[in-house]
A and B are shown apart, each in its own frame.
Chain A
Amino acid sequence: MAAPSSSMHQHDLPHVLAVDDNLIDRKLVEKLLRNSSCKVTTAENGPRALELLGLTSGGQNSMNGRSKVNLVITDYCMPGMTGYELLKKIKESSVMKEVPVVIMSSENIPTRINKCLEEGAQMFILKPLKQSDVKKLTCQLMN
């Protein structure tokens, strides 16, 4: 995982992609991340997240002139593609597999947590999200 550059210009702020089907949770995670000096893009489902990451089956360059994503934080329980499935797709891609992925869930299920960690999730966070959770995350990210 590459450390971001040390100068703190706007475009050097860590860019986080937050994925959650719940509107209130999206608003909350966005604010928490902004408070930790991150640039935030939100998506309401896995397919949209993959599109934003440039991982849809068009296979286009993920850069596309837009700023690179430094972290993906995703809810586990989403209709259609789950957070786990999204995690797998990211880890299977050649372009995005180094991007840390954090999974959030309201349910504390050890088998679920282990499954995600084994698939390469950097962290598993229990909802509801608190400022201290996000600070911990961004400290690790900013090294």
Chain B
Amino acid sequence: MDVGQMQRQWIDYAKSLFLEGFLDGQFLQLQQLQDENNPDFVVEVVSLFFEDSERLLKDLTFALDQNGVDFKKVDAHVHQLKGSSSSIGAQRVKNACIAFRNFCEEQNTDACLRCLQQVKQEYCLVKNKLETLFRLEQQIVAAGGSIPTELSFSG
């Protein structure tokens, strides 16, 4: 595969992530912040997001496993996860967190457990997608090309 084909593959893959709702406009904001001075900005922020989210998901699992669930604590964790997913443009994770917070308010343990499953699922999906995207980027750069900066959605 030549660089041009790789770049087109990257564009198609990135577009699909937006069309399928995994990512929203905020992710484009992150990409626009990447430049020659900070060529790895997106990967760095997303890596932080992965670490932070995994910690929060662990804490949530623990908190919901307690006999007397502390819903304030659960809500605080979900609020954090909602914030970071929103800031990097992980739309589906963010939306799952919004639903989760409603059930925290209702203090409904069963519904919260279902929400946690949903959030975990969405997190895994977006993690896989982003890792794939980054792998495609690495291939392009290794072949001497550059990552397209314009994701036009015409047609």
Q: Which chain A residues have a beta carbon within 8 Å of chain B's beta carbons?
A: 21-25, 27-28, 31-32, 35, 77, 79, 106, 127-131
Residues of A contacting B76 in the complex (Cβ-Cβ under 8 angstroms): 79
List the A residue with the shortest CB-CB distance to B26: A128
Q: How many A-B contacts at CB < 8 Å in the complex?
A: 50
Is A24 in contact with B82, judged by CB distance below 8 angstroms? no
The smallest C-beta distance from B13 to any residue of chain A, in angstroms, reads 23
> With contacts A22-B80, A27-B48, A28-B45 known, is A130 near B29, CB below 8 A?
yes
Chain B positions within 8 Å of A128 at CB level: 26, 29, 86-87, 89
Question: What's the tally of chain B residues with a CB closer than 8 Å to chain A?
Answer: 22
Q: How far is the CA of A28 from the CA of B41 in the complex (A)?
A: 10
Looking at the assembled complex, report how far the CB atom of A13 sits from the nearest CB atom of chain B, in whole angstroms.
16
Are A106 and B45 neighbours in the complex by a CB distance under 8 Å?
Answer: no
Q: Is the interface of B mostly helix, strand, loop or mixed?
A: helix
B38 contacts chain A at the CB level, 8 A cutoff? yes
Q: How far is the CA of A31 from the CA of B44 in the complex (A)?
A: 12
Q: Which of B64-117 contact A (CB under 8 A)?
A: 76, 79-80, 82-84, 86-89
B25, chain A: closest CB distance, angstroms: 9
In the complex, the answer to whether A35 meets B33 with C-beta atoms within 8 Å is yes
B52/A77 in contact, CB under 8 A = no
Residue of B nearest to A79 (CB): B76
Tell whether A24 pairs with B29 under 8 Å between CB atoms, given A77-B79, A127-B87: no
CB distance from B149 to the nearest CB of A (A): 14
Are B52 and A23 in contact (CB-based, < 8 A)? Answer: yes
Interface residue? B32 (CB, 8 A): yes
A22, B83: Cβ atoms closer than 8 Å: yes
Q: Is the CB of A127 within 8 A of B29?
A: no
